[in-house]
Amino acid sequence: MQTPKLALTIPCFNEELCVESTCTRLMEVLDDLIQRNIITADSYIYLVDDGSCDKTWDIISDLHDKHPQKIKAQKFIKNFGNQKALIAGLEGVRKIGCDCVISIDADLQQDENSIEKFVKEYQNGNDIVLGIRNDRKTDSLFKKTTALMFYKLMNLLGAKIPVNHSDFRLVSRKALDVMSLYSEKALFLRGFFHELGLKTSYVKFDVKQRSAGCSKFNPASL
Ligand code: UDP
Ligand code: MG
């Protein structure tokens, strides 16, 4: 298989404390993969600012000015929520162009060193690679309980969502093209990509503490 052009997409809501260090670290990861010829040199990062009211967008704009080829972004005029930001990220990179895209959070809780494993799975012919967290040690008791209730309820209703898959996921260009055929605007991506029927594999990863700031989900949104 040809060396793929990789995009990383990051939803960001009021992430002024993390966004710069996260982009710096992810640019290092991209550079390393480029040096080793695992991804192409025009691989890039695509941020979606989900209506932040802090300095997140100013920081992203500065990063883009310094690294115009590496850092691209769009901003929502208001906060639409993490799923809408993820969907916009996937639609954005489909327009710009890539062979595959990985979504990852702005706080870098998901282990960026696993990115290479996702790309390897893609090169082995998988269109979807789902990141599965090794444990939920970093979650509060409230989060653990609501997550368990959520998976149980969804499975009872017939939606087979892989347990402990956050939105750390690779999807291929082909999967993005299939997604673009759906007119549904409120897709629940964890269920959607799992049910598509495209060749899927899994990468286990360690969850870290949030790099800075606090969770952007409140009990009501959970
Ligand atoms: N996020 C977003 N819009 C929101 C809430 C969160 O784009 O309304 C982003 C957030 O900036 C982060 C990701 O979604 O990149 C996951 O959020 P967070 O880390 O706060 O969630 P947790 O790890 O606490 O589940
Ligand atoms: Mg987080």
Q: What is the per-residue pLDDT across 111-154, written as a single tens digit (0 to 9) for each?
A: 999 999 999 999 999 999 999 998 767 777 887 888 888 888 88
82 lines ligand 1 (CB under 6 A): yes
The band of 32, judged by pLDDT with boundaries at 50, 70 and 90, is very high
CB burial readout 120-137, b (16+ within 10 A) else e: ebbeeebbbbbbebeeee
Percent of the chain with pLDDT over 70: 98
Single-letter amino acid, residue 200: T
| φ, ψ (nearest 5 deg) of residue 9 | -115, 140
Residue identifier of the C-alpha nearest atom 22 of ligand 1: 215
Of 15, 52, 82, best ligand 1 pocket probe by most atoms within 8 Å of the beta carbon: 82
Q: Cα(161)–Cα(163) distance, rounded to whole angstroms?
A: 6
pLDDT of residue 185 exceeding 90, the answer is no
Pairing of strands 100-103, 6-12: parallel
Q: Cα(61)–Cα(66) distance, rounded to whole angstroms?
A: 9
81 lines ligand 1 (CB under 6 A): yes
C-beta separation of 108 from 18 below 8 A: yes
Q: Which ligand 1 atom lies nearest to the CA of residue 213?
A: 20
Q: What pLDDT does residue 147 have?
A: 80
Overall average pLDDT of the 103-109 stretch: 97
Torsion sign across C-alpha atoms 14, 183, 102, 35: negative
Question: What's the 202 CA to ligand 1 centre distance in angstroms?
Answer: 22
pLDDT of residue 219 exceeding 90, the answer is no
Pairing of strands 44-49, 165-172: unpaired
Number of H helices, E strands in the chain: 7, 7
Q: Which ligand 1 atom lies nearest to the CA of residue 81?
A: 8
Question: What's the 36 CA to ligand 2 centre distance in angstroms?
Answer: 29
Residue identifier of the C-alpha nearest atom 13 of ligand 1: 105
5 lines ligand 1 (CB under 6 A): no
